[in-house]
Chain A
Amino acid sequence: MITGTIAELSQALRAKQFSSVELTADVLQRIERAQPVLNAFITTDAEGAIAQARTADSTLRGGDAPPLTGIPIAHKDILMTAGLKTTCGSRMLAQFVAPYDAFVVAGLKAAGTVLIGKTNMDEFAMGSSNETSWFGPVRNPWNTDYVPGGSSGGSAAAVAARLLPATTGTDTGGSIRQPAALTGVCGLKPTYGSCSRYGLVAFASSLDQAGPFARTALDCGLMLNAMSGHDARDSTSLARPREDYTRLLREGARGKPLSGLRIGLPKEYFSEGIDSDVASAMQAMLAQFTELGATMIDLTLPHANLSVPVYYVIAPAEASSNLSRFDGVRYGHRAEHYDGLTDMYKKTRAEGFGDEVKRRILVGTYVLSHGYYDAYYLKAQQVRRLIADDFTRAYEQCDVIMGPTAPTPAFKLGDKFDNPVQMYLNDMFTVAANLTGAPAISIPCGFDNTGVPIGLQIQGNYFSEANLLRVAHHFQQATDWHARTPPHFTPDGPTETLAS
């Protein structure tokens, strides 16, 4: 079994320890073995992957290969891939083959990666447990009775189970960070506008942002380098000079590498309602950062508890509008039996969408309907401003804000499935970064008493990704939480017995 981080694999490929074809074949075999247990993938493309790996090998032989040449990756199945199915985890798009590549897909292709396939996800990225997928739930590699989080559950589980070194995800309210936390990997949501949304099937356009999953902060930076950039085809894509997100990671790690760093600790992130194991992991994490030289600043985000209510007005409102395009006319599912055009729409959408997606469309339709717009949508946008102002004030006092990514570690499949509000509250610490548009990363920082991982969220001001990665990197130089591997998925573990 060939395993490693992007940085390690990249070096080994260049040192000719193995070829990209060998690495890719190994990854495909691992995925095949894990699939009956984890269900992390919706589509794999063995033939295409081997062909790309062959090309990568010849590029590597020629020297001057792009940084990610020959590295196998997979995309969340919400990112369009020309010629490969893009299902969004929905019956509506179960047979949909995208006519073009998303911007981030094209960027990672140009950087030399090998596309292995598409990962499972909550339907249309709506969910926090990956249980709403039309293709069945994904399971957590640390304990297969548990959910991996969502909505990018397949992408997170695949990296956690060491099936491949990195994947992409999208984050509208925590869909990269929360599953990263629940599966013990790193997941970064960049500043809104950093990664073009071209070819990202829209859920809530003012919140959606693509980002990477990987084992280390360094690998997240390497991925983001290939995913970001200006794109005229997305009107919200920001025209900024290209940056190397790994540039601050080359500083030495000796002594107190984080001296001068001010870590803001909002009291709202450390209140009651946090799982006790999560709270202990936070204390240990803070001690570690103090040792690395950082200072702690107590602060308050007075409107923090309103993030989830605001989100559940804005995201469904935008979703109800975006998902109106799925009407059974131009692409996607169409009901077989209907009586007239309106009935065709209604039956197509009733059959094509799952319960959670329908619920959010209905909420969004209601808050945008005549007579309710001011009371809900406008009100939510005003409170969104108050939340953003809280953060602006906080960053006058600190450089980063830390706290748990999620209030609890992974929970059992089925535990919250019938209680949407309880499920939504899983994102209580993550949605704010989507509402403000600022970047945030989740990295592993411990385990609970049952052995499932706990995630630390590090938030920063706009465009501070490089600094977030630096802070995460130094934590990872001093600890080994990110290097722990689920027992069944270690290089010597009983992976081969999993499928039986």
Chain B
Amino acid sequence: MALTLDDVHRIAHLARIDIDASAAEQVRLKLAAIFALIDQLNGVDTEGILPMAHAQDVMLPMRDDVVTASDERALYQSVAPAIDEGLYLVPRVIE
């Protein structure tokens, strides 16, 4: 697989990570080396093999549909970058 600079900028945008234009080529080279490693999988015949998503083949456990969580808003917001009256503050998105 040939990873282009456009690919790097596209996935960086999807991942919401700013990449400096001057550093992009270095990033591309290292990612390309990693994909060369990953591409070893291409040669494996996996026809009809059931994908393994998880180490244990167990059913997802279900619990009773009752409220168990207590109100910890103040505690959880104590580590937030910016809050006001119990709300998380983010940059304005609607003008």
A joins B in a complex: yes
A positions within 8 Å CB-CB of B: 95-97, 99, 191-193, 206-207, 232, 235-236, 238-239, 303, 305-306, 308-310, 312-313, 320, 324, 327-334, 338, 340-347, 349-350, 353, 358-359, 361-363, 365-367, 369, 376, 378-386, 388, 419-421, 424, 435-438
How would residues 65 to 90 of chain B score, 1 for a CB under 8 Å from any chain A CB and 0 otherwise?
00000001001111111100000101
CB-based contact A362/B54 at 8 Å: no
Known: A349-B18, A437-B55. A329 touches B38 (CB 8 A): no
Q: How many A-B residue pairs have CB under 8 A?
A: 167
Distance between A94 CB and nearest chain B CB, rounded to angstroms: 12
Which chain A residue lies CB-closest to B10? A369
State the interface size on chain B (CB cutoff 8 A): 51
Q: How far is the CA of A454 from the CA of B51 in the complex (A)?
A: 35
Known: A97-B79, A382-B49, A437-B56. A358 touches B90 (CB 8 A): no
CB-based contact B17/A340 at 8 Å: no
Report which of B8, B51, B90 forms a contact with A385, defined as CB distance below 8 A.
B51
Q: How far is the CA of A263 from the CA of B91 in the complex (A)?
A: 60
Distance between A188 CB and nearest chain B CB, rounded to angstroms: 16
Known: A334-B82, A366-B11, A386-B46. A381 touches B53 (CB 8 A): yes
Report which of B31, B55, B80 forms a contact with A192, defined as CB distance below 8 A.
B55
CB-based contact A359/B27 at 8 Å: yes
CB-based contact A235/B60 at 8 Å: yes
Given contacts A342-B16, A362-B12, 8 further A-B contacts (CB under 8 A): A95-B79, A97-B78, A99-B75, A192-B56, A320-B15, A358-B27, A366-B11, A382-B46
CB-based contact B16/A349 at 8 Å: yes
Distance between B12 CB and nearest chain A CB, rounded to angstroms: 6
- B16 cross-chain contacts in A, Cβ below 8 A: 324, 327, 342, 345-346, 349
B positions within 8 Å CB-CB of A: 7-8, 11-19, 27, 30-31, 33-42, 44, 46, 49-56, 58, 60-61, 63, 72, 75-82, 88, 90-91, 93
- B12 cross-chain contacts in A, Cβ below 8 A: 362
Q: How far is the CA of A383 from the CA of B39 in the complex (A)?
A: 12
- A99 cross-chain contacts in B, Cβ below 8 A: 72, 75-76, 78-79
Report which of A303, A340, A346, A421 forms a contact with B93, defined as CB distance below 8 A.
A340
